Structure 1
Amino acid sequence: MSNEIGAATALPTVNAYVYPRGGLDVLSRDEVARLKDASTGGMHDLLRRCALAVLTSGSASDDPRAAQELYPDFDIQVLQQDRGIRIELVSAPAMAFVDGQIIRGVAELLFAVVRDLAYTAIELGPEYATDLESSAGITNAVFGLLRNARLLQPGDPNMVVCWGGHSINRVEYDYTKLVGYELGLRGMDICTGCGPGAMKGPMKGANVAHAKQRQYPARYIGITEPGIIAAESPNPIVNQLVIMPDIEKRLESFVRLGHGIIVFPGGVGTAEEILYLLGLLLQEENRDIPFPFILTGPTASAPYFEQIDQFIRLTLGDEAASRYEIIVADPEQVARRMSAGIRKVKEYRVGHKDSFYFNWSLSIPLDLQQPFVPTHEAMAALDLHHGRPPHELAADLRRAFSGIVAGNVKEDGLRRVEEFGPFRINGDRDIMQSLDALLRAFVEQRRMKIAGEYKPCYEVVA
């Protein structure tokens, strides 16, 4: 690698050449061409945005435009050479370098970006669109992406997925570390959405526990997607990163890869994840599949979970609430319950001859796998009324929260709201009243944004 201090921009920058080490040794000419192509159908702009996100790993901002404004001259080029590939960085954030050398962990995340976008450009390109028209085809695509990222590793089940908000208070963050510590002491690895807050805390706690237990190598997996990564840069503890093409494949990756899920306090993104999993577990085909599902937080967060629980019982019924348990202020109990639940997962998969590294048994219907584009028309058309099968209502509620996430932190969503005003969400009066109360609570508890005043991107209409 060679480098020099770049021209002065908003912040110090570095020009550098980076050579991949392991995991990304060669690319085809077609892959390199697509990554370099800035024209229609090319992926250069997407590569630039995702690369900038990992080069600012650890950033406290959740504004997807902030990094681009701070580093307007940043660029990345993937160059093909006889001996492999070379990545050229122009006006890259100096925070990614130490004494002229790129930080090794940051380099690994950068290579993951190039690897996943190259794979998506070829294996999930337009010529393979028909493969993504069936549920099995989409699941195979998810499997292929995870395998290409080398995340599917044989071994006893021990992967705990942790969901929760990027904007949480210090007490809640410290609690996520305590839970992660207890999980790590029991040999559990951690998978999160890879960002800050409740996505970082469990990894940090588990990291200390793994060191105490001499558990090497420990896995801290981050799963993200292009619309999210710019607003939630990977935290520094992530040592395996994968970028899925869209939120639906990201959510499927969590439930296929994980053996149990823990939910910490969060905002609309966390609510979206809860409703997605409930929508799956309420499917008739999935009712007998063990999947430990725990909601937990410190004592001060008890009202948060009470409100989430009330919303779920009102909209989806008591059966949906029976699929999770709420544990308040007891990290050891959370870890014990998760450990016991994963033992049942192991017994089930052994009995049904299912793999430990990918949950093939879980049935995910096609309508939950197909990408939901939150336009104003699509948000207004959501069917949020009583009388529907619970798993179908859960799917549309999930889409409502997904649209709000887009309006909060995704560039396309931000642009739509700026141009056409807030998304309008309508449905039965009691559902809308409960939804409005829940969203207002998220705003009051500052769960929508890390910093600054929050301007709602939605309007709830009864």
Structure 2
Amino acid sequence: MEYQVIDTQIAPDGRLEVLSKAEITKLLDTSHGGLYQLFRSCSLAVLNCGSGLDDGKELLERYKTFDISIIQRERGIKLDVKAAPASAFVDGVMIKGIQEHLFTVLRDILFVHGEIEENSQFDLNTTEGVSDAVFHILRNANLLKPQVNPNLVVCWGGHSISGIEYDYTKQVGYHLGLRGMDICTGCGPGAMKGPMKGATIGHAKQRIRHGRYLGITEPGIIAAEAPNPIVNDLVILPDIEKRLEAFVRIGHAIVVFPGGAGTAEEILYLLGILLHPDNAGLPFPLIFTGPESAKDYFLQIDQFIAGTLGEQARQRYQIIVNDPSLVAQEVLEGIKKVREFRKAKGDAYYFNWLLKIDAEFQKPFDPTHENMRNLELHKNQEPHLLAANLRRAFSGVVAGNVKDQGIRAIEKYGHFEITGDIAIMEAMDALLSSFVAHNRMKLPGKAYTPCYRVIK
């Protein structure tokens, strides 16, 4: 099947207007370890906004002739784009928001490579070094606002949700917007788009003209969750672990909607951090919510958490079903406690420095078949460490579902094998099976072939 494509040249609009020759050389380096393939794949994902495709491998194969290069001029740079998805254009002109996101890709890839990975100032083998790197990436993207009271709500949830669930996310976003809350998500469709869409109406009614709709992503997932059109601040972190840390450092509360393996990964990441003894007294509002039809979904999540991490973990979140207004009220009350706590401790409102994040939550996890098979999924360890390993298991499932590298590994070597304590394996198998049964692994209308096998 042929897909409509367009060639164009675009210039930045007040963003990254000049590059050095060395930067351009790095971006166009096609050798192993060069930046070109990363630049190309992230750019293509941004240009594919709104297509409904959630498969990184398929996207790259669908637009094999896509190419992007840099034209260096005395007055500044231009991007030369060949065979871009036609959906990124209106009457042959690239949509403004997509153009901005394209230059965001350029900005973040250059900054991470040149100022973080090649900079001896950042020791990425220490917890402090990783957190400092996340801080600098967010600051470079201009996401840290020091003169603003806490008001940023992170919304997690699946890109593959029903129409009823999507409408519910918009209602929650609307009630958050009415209360002056800004929204941060993984920037994709579904539960990542709905809260932003709802908040735009709430902000409009309150005459809030500068509402913030932050999208946080990483190269491996951006093809499956291309930035939705509402995102007005986008940042690309170098890996999933730094992406997750960015969410919990910058957000003041988290609302979780129904989702699949990726949402389970996010939940386990945050619960694992909150279960660390150093975070026992730290307020962090966390609410699971959905329409009445999602009641059983959250019951399964709750049972899984109780059966793996225990009662202490269950005390760190609320479940609110079918009440968008109450969700927003509880978020507002929770954020007031966050503000009081940080003010008393002298911590920043814009970056949660006091949150203790163990090194096990910062180490990049490579979901190879061997690493997935060797995960320590047993209860003979501290709950927060078990949460870290469970998070890795779900991260591997996400990779096998939607990431180009993961999909190719499954095609070559077969299913990931997940093994551990029988009780944990039974709980994980039941949860993943429910995700499959309710079409939470892929976008609606797409058949799902499992990339994993739970060994009991």
Global fold match (TM > 0.5): yes
Q: Is 2:69 aligned against 1:83?
A: no
**Cα contact 1:32–1:79 (8 A) shared by 2:** no
Q: Partner residue of 1:4?
A: none
2:430 is matched with which residue: 417, 437, 457? 437
Q: Partner residue of 2:376?
A: 383
Q: Partner residue of 1:458?
A: 452
Please give the residue correspondences for 1:366-381 in structure 2 after superposition, counting only pairs within 5 Å. 366-381=359-374
Matched to 1:457, the amino acid is: C
1:402 is matched with which residue: 390, 395, 403? 395
**How far did 1:129 drift?**
9.2
Matched to 1:118, the amino acid is: L
Q: How many residues align?
A: 454
> What SS does the corresponding residue of 1:132 show, helix, strand or coil?
coil
**Cα contact 1:34–1:121 (8 A) shared by 2:** no
**How far did 1:26 drift?**
2.4
Taking the aligned partners of 2:73 and 2:51, their CA distance within structure 1 comes to 33
Taking the aligned partners of 2:118 and 2:99, their CA distance within structure 1 comes to 30
1:181 is matched with which residue: 171, 174, 187? 174
1:221 is matched with which residue: 214, 219, 224? 214
RMSD: 1.3
**Cα contact 2:122–2:133 (8 A) shared by 1:** no
> What SS does the corresponding residue of 2:425 show, helix, strand or coil?
helix
> What SS does the corresponding residue of 1:59 show, helix, strand or coil?
coil
**Cα contact 1:281–1:323 (8 A) shared by 2:** yes
1:69 is matched with which residue: 61, 67, 74? 61
Q: Partner residue of 1:172?
A: 165
Taking the aligned partners of 1:37 and 1:129, their CA distance within structure 2 comes to 25
Please give the residue correspondences for 1:247-258 in structure 2 after superposition, counting only pairs within 5 Å. 247-258=240-251
**How far did 1:23 drift?**
3.0
| Identity among equivalent pairs (%) | 57
Per-residue CA distance 1:182-211 (angstroms, 9 max, x = gap): 000000000000011000000010011111
**How far did 1:127 drift?**
5.6
Taking the aligned partners of 1:284 and 1:265, their CA distance within structure 2 comes to 28
**Cα contact 2:157–2:263 (8 A) shared by 1:** yes
Matched to 2:200, the amino acid is: N
> What SS does the corresponding residue of 1:179 show, helix, strand or coil?
helix
Q: Partner residue of 2:156?
A: 163
Q: Partner residue of 1:40?
A: 32
Q: Is 2:331 aligned against 1:338?
A: yes
Please give the residue correspondences for 1:143-154 in structure 2 after superposition, counting only pairs within 5 Å. 143-154=135-146
Matched to 2:428, the amino acid is: L
**Cα contact 2:169–2:290 (8 A) shared by 1:** yes
Taking the aligned partners of 1:51 and 1:92, their CA distance within structure 2 comes to 9
Taking the aligned partners of 2:253 and 2:50, their CA distance within structure 1 comes to 26
**Cα contact 1:31–1:121 (8 A) shared by 2:** no
**Bigger mean CA deviation after superposition, 410-419 or 268-277:** 410-419
Taking the aligned partners of 1:273 and 1:383, their CA distance within structure 2 comes to 19
Q: Partner residue of 2:90?
A: 98
1:210 is matched with which residue: 176, 195, 203? 203
Taking the aligned partners of 2:288 and 2:299, their CA distance within structure 1 comes to 10
Q: Partner residue of 1:6?
A: none
Matched to 2:80, the amino acid is: E
**Cα contact 1:10–1:71 (8 A) shared by 2:** no
Q: Give TM-score, length-normalised by structure 2.
A: 0.97
Taking the aligned partners of 1:334 and 1:377, their CA distance within structure 2 comes to 41
Taking the aligned partners of 1:429 and 1:94, their CA distance within structure 2 comes to 50
Per-residue CA distance 1:48-97 (angstroms, 9 max, x = gap): 11111111111211111233233221111123322222111111222212
Q: Partner residue of 2:340?
A: 347
1:138 is matched with which residue: 115, 126, 130? 130
Q: Is there any run of 5+ residues in structure 1 with no aligned partner, and where?
A: 1-8
Matched to 2:102, the amino acid is: L
Taking the aligned partners of 2:170 and 2:153, their CA distance within structure 1 comes to 14
Please give the residue correspondences for 1:316-327 in structure 2 after superposition, counting only pairs within 5 Å. 316-327=309-320
Per-residue CA distance 1:293-319 (angstroms, 9 max, x = gap): 000000010010001001101111101
Per-residue CA distance 1:239-276 (angstroms, 9 max, x = gap): 11111100000000000110000000000000000000
Taking the aligned partners of 1:149 and 1:439, their CA distance within structure 2 comes to 35
Taking the aligned partners of 1:143 and 1:151, their CA distance within structure 2 comes to 10
